[in-house]
Amino acid sequence: MNSFDKLTKLFSDFPGIGPRQAKRFVYFLLTRNPSYIDEFITLIKSIKADSALCSSCFRYFISNKSPSTLCPICNDRNRDLTKLMIVARDVDMENMEKTGVYDGYYFVLGGTVPILEKEPERLVRIKELEKRLAKEADLKEIIIAMNANPEGENTEDFLRLRIKEISGAKNINLSTLGRGLSTGIELEYSDSDTLKSALKNREHTS
Ligand SMILES: [Zn+2]
The 3-class secondary structure across 83-100, one letter per residue, is EEEEECCHHHHHHHHHHC
| Same domain as 87, residue 23 | no
Phi, psi of 141 (to 5 degrees): -145, 135
How far is CA 76 from its chain centroid? 19
Q: How far is the CA of 72 from the centre of ligand 1 (A)?
A: 7
**97 within domain boundaries:** yes
Q: For the chain, what is the mean pLDDT?
A: 91
Ligand 1 centroid to Cα of residue 6, in Å, is 35
Residues with C-beta atoms within 5 A of ion ligand 1? 54, 56-57, 71, 74
Structurally, how many domains does the chain consist of?
2
The SS3 of residue 131 is helix
Judgement on whether residues 20 and 117 belong to the same structural domain of the protein: no
**pLDDT surpasses 60 at 181:** no
- Centroid of ligand 1 to alpha carbon of 83 (angstroms): 14
Is a pLDDT exceeding 70 seen at residue 86?
yes
The pTM of this model reads: 0.84
What is the Å distance from ligand 1's center to 149 Cα?
Answer: 26
pLDDT 10s digits, 35-76: 999 999 999 999 989 999 999 999 999 998 788 899 999 999
Q: How far is the CA of 139 from the centre of ligand 1 (A)?
A: 16
39 and 94 share one domain = no
Q: At what angle do helices 150-169 and 126-135 cross, to 10 degrees?
A: 30
Query: Cα(30)–Cα(128) distance, rounded to whole angstroms?
Result: 43
CA 182 to ligand 1 center in whole angstroms = 30
**Residue-wise DSSP of 143-172:** EEE--SSHHHHHHHHHHHHHHHHHHHHTT-
Q: Give the chain's largest Cα–Cα span.
A: 61
Q: What is the CATH number of the domain that holds 31?
A: 1.10.8.420
Pairwise CA distance, residues 5 & 60, whole Å = 30
Is residue 60, in this structure, part of any structural domain at all?
Answer: no
pLDDT greater than 70 at residue 11: yes
Q: Please give the pLDDT value at position 200.
A: 82
Is residue 66 a part of any domain in this protein?
A: no
Which domain, by its residues, includes 14? 3-50
Question: pLDDT tens for residues 147-167?
Answer: 888 899 999 999 999 999 999
pLDDT of residue 183: 54
Average pLDDT over every residue of 166-194: 78
Reported as type and span, the H/E element at residue 133 is helix 126-135
